[in-house]
């Protein structure tokens, strides 16, 4: 039975992936309301092992030249939202470097081949964001390989659900803040040393910044901090012509969720609480990042663009 249901979900997703993001369609059923079977992967999880598979726009995202000649670094660009952003940027004409953990090489190679299939340069930069040497070097490696950098997407994130604060270890809190916050500060500092006027920085925050789950108090705290970082840095960098904005996703079906990001029992209902009644697919996030990266959003700074299926935000 579970197998039949999984096959139905896969085929509904494959059908949805046939029409691109510019086709007139009903958001309620643009993608099916998936009911992921209970499953668990070890952290960080792989797109390749998700059931059902997630849509990163490989067969649907249609570019219109909005990022022609641009050069982007996307952290966590191997899977989920970061992969969808990397695919969309390449379809819009940008070269793209992706940062990811070495254990994610399989997912990363898929994204590299999609970027190259768009005729753009792809740069694979495996490494751990808790390693200061890596966060000190990854920006210059991306710049050297692409001949510059004018888009930075701070998207990598760590999310581990823990039921009680009494079981929340110092190690987990420190590592979540190191990946989600400290690495973002370090990478951004390196990037702005080189970025020309016209560049864009986009940080991935979350609905968790305003509506925290009881099991995600450490993660949700980092996401609130990312919103505040975005608003402060946007003012600091505005006179230099570098715009800083954020995207706040709602529940999106990615490997973060079944790799301890949610209690396993919660997975079948993932995303059903949204007004649209379904989880989002990673590619539905991509146009928000494209908009904030492109010069068409030249007067948009310090903004958090919520892409969450209709959940109210402050």
Distance CA 160, CA 216 (A): 7
How many whole angstroms separate alpha carbon 180 and alpha carbon 222? 6
Q: Pick from 39, 41, 51, 130 the residue near ligand NAD by CB under 6 A.
A: 130
d(C-alpha 187, C-alpha 201), whole Å = 11
Q: CB nearer to ligand NAD: give 40 or 298.
A: 40
Q: Are 44 and 259 in contact (CB under 8 A)?
A: yes
What stretches of 23-175 adopt beta strand conformation (E)? 71-75, 95-100, 122-126, 151-154
Distance from C-alpha of 289 to C-alpha of 124, rounded to nearest angstrom: 20
Candidate ranges 58-66, 71-79, 166-174, 234-242; the one touching ligand NAD (CB under 6 A):
71-79
Give 125's strand partners.
99
Closer CB to Mg ion, residue 70 or residue 178? 178
As a whole number of angstroms, the distance between CA 46 and CA 51 comes to 11
- Residue 130, number of CB atoms within 10 A of its CB: 15
Partners of 144 in the β-ladder: none
Q: How far apart are CA 173 and CA 241, in angstroms?
A: 35
The pattern of x and - marking residues 1 through 40 that bind Mg ion according to CB under 5 A reads ----------------------------------------
**Span of 103-111, 120-128, 262-270, 301-309 interacting with Mg ion by CB under 5 A:** 103-111
- Which range touches ligand NAD (CB under 6 A), out of 4-12, 25-33, 251-259, 288-296? 251-259
Distance CA(120)–CA(113), nearest Å, equals: 10
Interacting residue with ligand NAD among 158, 186, 243, 260 (CB under 6 A): 158
Count of CB atoms within 10 A of residue 138's CB?
Answer: 24
| Spatial distance between the Cα atoms of 13 and 32, rounded to a whole number of angstroms | 7
Q: Which does 158 bind (CB under 5 to 8 A by kind): ligand NAD, Mg ion, none?
A: ligand NAD
Asked if 294 touches ligand NAD (CB under 6 A), the answer is: no
52 contact choice in ligand NAD, Mg ion, none (CB below 5 to 8 Å, kind-dependent): none
Q: Is 134 a catalytic residue?
A: no
State which residue, 179 or 242, has the beta carbon closest to ligand NAD. 179
Q: Which two tokens stand for residue 7?
A: 């096959």
Q: Binding to ligand NAD by residue 246, rule CB under 6 A?
A: no
Site map 49..88 versus Mg ion, x via CB under 5 A: -----------------------------xx---------
Catalytic residues: 219
Where does this chain bind Mg ion (CB under 5 A)?
78-79, 104
Where does this chain bind ligand NAD (CB under 6 A)?
44-45, 76, 78-82, 100-101, 104, 128-130, 155-159, 179, 204, 206, 249, 251-252, 254-257
């Amino acid at each position: 039975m579970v197998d039949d249901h999984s096959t139905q979900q896969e085929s509904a997703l494959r059908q949805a992936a046939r029409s691109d993001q510019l086709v007139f369609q009903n958001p309620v059923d643009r993608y099916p309301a998936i009911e992921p079977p209970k499953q668990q992967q070890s952290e960080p999880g792989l797109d390749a092992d998700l059931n059902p598979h997630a849509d990163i726009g490989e067969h649907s995202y249609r570019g219109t030249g909005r990022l022609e000649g641009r050069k982007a670094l996307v952290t966590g660009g191997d899977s989920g939202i970061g992969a969808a952003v990397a695919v969309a940027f390449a379809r819009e004409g940008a070269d793209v470097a992706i940062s990811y953990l070495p254990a994610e090489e399989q997912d990363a190679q898929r994204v590299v081949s999609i970027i190259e299939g768009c005729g753009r340069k792809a740069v694979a930069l495996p490494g751990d964001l808790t390693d200061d040497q890596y966060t000190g070097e990854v920006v210059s490696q991306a710049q050297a390989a692409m001949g510059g950098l004018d888009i930075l997407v701070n998207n990598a994130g760590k999310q581990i659900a823990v039921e009680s604060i009494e079981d929340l270890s110092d190690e987990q809190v420190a590592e979540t803040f190191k990946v989600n916050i400290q690495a973002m500060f370090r990478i951004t500092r390196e990037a702005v040393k080189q970025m020309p006027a016209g560049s864009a920085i986009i940080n991935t925050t979350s609905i968790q910044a305003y509506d925290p789950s009881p099991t995600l108090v450490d993660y949700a705290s980092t996401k609130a901090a990312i919103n505040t970082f975005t608003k402060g840095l946007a003012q600091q960098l505005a006179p230099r012509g570098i715009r800083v904005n954020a995207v706040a996703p709602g529940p999106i079906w990615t490997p973060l969720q079944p790799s301890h990001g949610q209690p396993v029992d919660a997975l079948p209902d993932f995303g059903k609480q949204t007004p649209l009644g379904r989880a989002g697919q990673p590619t539905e996030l991509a146009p928000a990042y494209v908009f904030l990266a492109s010069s068409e959003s030249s007067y948009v700074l310090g903004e958090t663009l919520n892409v969450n299926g209709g959940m109210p935000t402050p």
